[in-house]
Structure 1
Amino acid sequence: MRPLPTALKSNWRAWARDIRAGLPDRSEALTVHLAALLHAQGTRRVLAYRALPGEPDVSGLAAQFELLTTRARWKPHPHLTLHAWDTATELSRFGALEPPADAPRIPLESVDAVLLPALAFDERGVRLGYGGGFYDRLLPGFAGLTIGVIWSDLIVPELPTEAHDIRAQWLASETGVQAIQ
């Protein structure tokens, strides 16, 4: 394994992409642990993500929960809108499926839990995203569960953080789930 980088988020992103590129897909094991956590928390409606290459695929949860997904919007400012899972039929500029622009929107207040994709997480729940800040803008004031979904190889002791960074309350990986203290 490459040594951990220091300081700049761009260095951490390059490190995480390199590590992730060599990892096998362990989505099935991760989904089992994640489903157990969601059931234990009484969760019904989950904002999930459509996986990019290398990310854990959480689509297996659709048989047990009402899944929603996001569409990235760019105007008047970058933000996410929420939509029914099965409306994701178009390829986004990021390479994942997303709902079309006219898909009915669903309010965040109706969501029980949000699954956060990332390049890496640290043990404090700090998320290293892709740099767009979409989830950091979506989640301030969100009262439900926030769960980081990540391969265990990409959980590190500490990542650089900024005041606006949203932290996950839980981390879920193929090895299990852990509450963030």
Structure 2
Amino acid sequence: MTLSPTPAPDAPKTEWRSWARATRGALPDRSAEVTAHLRGLLHAQGARRVLAYRALPGEPDVSGLAEDFTLLAPRARFRPTPRLTLHAWDTATEPSRFGALQPPVNAPEEALATVDAVLLPALAYDRRGVRLGYGGGFYDRLLPDFGGLVVGVTWAPLVVPELPSEAHDSRAGWLATEEGVARVRP
């Protein structure tokens, strides 16, 4: 499989997002391997309650973790200010505007303070834990108040040496791919 070359580190995020989407579309689904590595890390770190995500097409599907952990699912809210709310995993039954399943608007909310770990989806990561998200800033607003384990989840070919970043961008403390998990070194 031949992947297109990565953009320059100082290229605009829009160029990086295009590259990541094209690269992701050419990769096989190895979600079971990602999930196995995550399961080991989460158990080793003592996590019980985990904010996960319902996978978009092309993202690693982490739903298999529901057998071992209490998973929560996010809902993107746009008013009065954009934010994520957290809900029981099994309430994620309606499609969001992004295409992933999310809890309905009236699902009971869970507090971030009850979460041990956050699994952070992304288009790509760099080796410092910098996340290339989808551009909405939802996790960037959620994570500054979170003191638990933050694990970036993506495919190994989407982990690059350096991504453009801004001061408000969320960073992961760990990266999980189909090849394993690794602590990030800033």
CA offset digits 1:107-143 (Å, max 9, x no partner): 0010000000000000000000000000000010211
SS in 2 for 1:71: strand
Shift, 1:166, TM fit: 1.3
| Structure 2 alignment gaps of length 5 or more | none
Q: TM-score, normalised by structure 2?
A: 0.96
1:2 matched residue in structure 2: 4
What's the CA shift string for 1:139-160, capped at 9, x where partnerless?
Answer: 1021100000010010000000
User: Who is 2:144 aligned against?
Assistant: 140
Report the equivalent of 2:129: 125
Amino acid at match of 1:160: P
Secondary structure at 1:105's aligned position in 2? coil
Q: Does 1:20 align with 2:24?
A: yes
- Deviations for 1:64-119, whole angstroms, at most 9, x for unmatched residues? 00000100001001110000000011111000100000000000010000000000
Work out whether 1:74 is the aligned partner of 2:78: yes
Deviations, residues 15-63 of structure 1 (Å, cap 9, x unaligned): 0000000000000011000000000000000000000000000000000
SS in 2 for 1:38: helix
Residue number among 138, 143, 165 corresponding to 2:169 in the alignment: 165
Q: CA deviation at 1:9?
A: 0.3
Aligned length: 181
SS, match of residue 148 in structure 1: strand
- Rounded Cα–Cα distance in structure 1 between residues aligned with 2:26 and 2:94: 28
Partner of 2:37: 33
Alignment match, 1:116: 120
Query: Cα RMSD (Å) of the superposition?
Result: 0.5
What code does the residue aligned with 2:124 have? A
Q: How does 1:43-82 map to 2 (within 5 A)?
A: 43-82=47-86
Q: Whole-Å Cα distance in 2 between the matches of residues 177 and 112 of structure 1?
A: 17
| TM-score normalised according to structure 1 size | 0.99
SS at match of 1:139: helix
Q: Percent identity?
A: 69
Shift of 1:163: 0.5
Task: State the secondary structure of the residue aligned to 1:67.
Answer: strand
For 2:62 and 2:137, locate their aligned partners in 1 and report how far apart those are by CA, in whole Å. Answer: 21
Determine the structure 2 residue equivalent to 1:96: 100
* Structure 1: unaligned runs, 5 residues or longer: none
Q: CA deviation at 1:172?
A: 0.3
CA distance in 1, matches of 2:68, 2:6: 37
